[in-house]
Amino acid sequence: MSSTPIILGIESSCDETAAAVLVNGVVRSNVIAGQDVHRLWGGVVPELASRAHQENIVPVVAEALKNAGVTKEELHGIAVTNGPGLMGALLVGTCFARSMAQALNVPLLAVNHMQAHVLAHFIQDGTDRIPPEFPFLNLTVSGGHTLIVLVRSPLDMEVLGTTVDDAAGEAFDKGAKVLGLPYPGGPLIDQYSKGGDPKKFKLPNPQIPGLDMSFSGVKTAFNGLVRMGAIKDPDFVERERYNLCASLQQCIVDILLQKLSKAGHSHSIPRIAISGGVSANRALREQVQQLADREGWTVHIPPLSYCTDNGAMIAMAGHFLFQAGQFAALDVVPYAR
Ligand code: KG4
Ligand code: ZN
């Protein structure tokens, strides 16, 4: 087995078709094709996502290989997101990766998407970013998941807490939808929040036991606040857009940080990290840094390009699976949840 593995990573679980090449954990290329087709629908339309992946996957993989200066014959393994995600979308990536692994006679590396979000911290990209030491606590926040994970080693993770209903990203996206903003709303809420007062509107902070979280009450309360406001005053949303965004964002960030802080204390682990699409959020990034400074903990926040879905994190997870000799059967079945 090669001691400097060259791994192709392929991601197609949701609405990004992405591919990347890592040489011994160092990123050589990272190509992402987004899908504008969902913008006007207020969320990802599964059928449209699958079709877009089908169109994009060949050119995206070709570009990743070209940008890396690597031929397919030089690859030591093909890593692919095997779940969780939209089944039709996953099938495009996994069928492609299975066929490629079979044709090239190299191992197939079946990656869990949420594990890959955590392993994004280990991608080497020529900067002086230091990877976390084990064990550490990772708040993994994406469009479909919200997890507090105890990371003992690259392939040994335990979920300590999760949302009991909606994900944090869902609360951002649906909050944006109520305001008439296109999908994905998280980045727009982030942008508008800069000019708003986070204390202007009070939203509920659900008291869920342990390290679990809840966002459906926040979503409902925000929906009610906006609709009631608009009934009383047709200009309400326009006038209060910035304050509404800032208040929603702060409410979500408060819930996330309370639980991350609690996890750090209850597990006596002074190393915290965030990853996943929502970790691109400016307020979350700033306030997680402040939490770590206050407590004297170390903190790891990935560069923006490795927060939202990308192929490099899949290749990184594939790198660890390759090193551990954990190869998937070519008929491995993807899982939606
Ligand atoms: O990890 P990701 O790219 O895809 C999934 O695995 O779901 O996460 C996408 C989620 C979406 O809900 C999107 O609105 C949210 O991440 N997001 C943000 C920001 N950038 C992306 N949420 C808040 N602030 C942001 N800057
Ligand atoms: Zn993701």
The distance in angstroms from the start CA to the end CA of the chain is: 32
Q: How confident is the model at residue 37, as a pLDDT?
A: 84
- φ, ψ dihedrals at 162, nearest 5°: -150, 170
Tell me the pLDDT band of 104, cut-offs 50, 70 and 90.
Answer: very high
Q: How confident is the model at residue 2, as a pLDDT?
A: 74
Average pLDDT rounded to a whole number, residues 291-313: 98
Which ligand 1 atom is the nearest neighbour of the CA of 191? 26
Could you tell me if the CB of 264 is within 6 A of ligand 1?
Answer: no
Q: How confident is the model at residue 306, as a pLDDT?
A: 98
Q: How confident is the model at residue 35, as a pLDDT?
A: 83
> What's the CA-to-centroid distance between 113 and ligand 2, angstroms?
6
**Is a pLDDT exceeding 80 seen at residue 317?**
yes
Least distant ligand from the CA of 280: 1
Q: 30, 172, 219: which to mutate for ligand 1, most atoms within 8 A of CB?
A: 172
Kindly state the DSSP code that residue 128 receives in the 8-state scheme. -
Average pLDDT rounded to a whole number, residues 294-300: 98
Could you tell me if the CB of 184 is within 6 A of ligand 1?
Answer: yes
One-letter identity of residue 29 = S
Least distant ligand from the CA of 32: 1
Q: 140, 142, 288, 301: which to mutate for ligand 1, most atoms within 8 A of CB?
A: 142
Q: In what order do the strands lie in the sheet with 146-153?
A: 156-162, 146-153, 136-141, 271-275, 298-300
d(CA 161, CA 260): 9
Half-sphere exposure of 235 (CA within 13 A, CB side): 1
Average pLDDT rounded to a whole number, residues 310-317: 98
Tell me the pLDDT band of 40, cut-offs 50, 70 and 90.
Answer: confident
Provide CATH code, domain 6-127+307-324.
3.30.420.40
The protein residue with its alpha carbon nearest to ligand 1, atom 2, reads 277
> What's the CA-to-centroid distance between 296 and ligand 1, angstroms?
28
Kindly state the DSSP code that residue 165 receives in the 8-state scheme. S
- Which tens digits make up the pLDDT trace of 156-188? 999 999 999 999 999 999 999 999 999 899 999
Question: Would the pTM count as exceeding 0.95?
Answer: yes
The protein residue with its alpha carbon nearest to ligand 1, atom 11, reads 143
Could you tell me if the CB of 12 is within 6 A of ligand 1?
Answer: no
**Is a pLDDT exceeding 80 seen at residue 1?**
no
Could you tell me if the CB of 92 is within 6 A of ligand 1?
Answer: no
Percentage of residues in the chain having pLDDT higher than 90: 95
Domain map of the chain by residue range?
A: 6-127+307-324, 136-302
- Which tens digits make up the pLDDT trace of 181-224? 998 999 999 999 999 999 999 999 999 999 999 999 999 999 99
Q: State the DSSP string of 239-294.
A: HHHHHHHHHHHHHHHHHHHHHHHHHHHHTT--EEEEESGGGG-HHHHHHHHHHHHH
Fold of 136-302: Nucleotidyltransferase; domain 5 (3.30.420)
Tell me the pLDDT band of 36, cut-offs 50, 70 and 90.
Answer: confident
Q: 278, 284, 305: which to mutate for ligand 1, most atoms within 8 A of CB?
A: 278
- φ, ψ dihedrals at 152, nearest 5°: -90, -35
The protein residue with its alpha carbon nearest to ligand 1, atom 13, reads 186
Q: How confident is the model at residue 34, as a pLDDT?
A: 86
Identical fold for domains 6-127+307-324 and 136-302, yes or no, is yes
The chain-wide mean pLDDT, for the chain, equals 96
3 state DSSP class of 24: coil
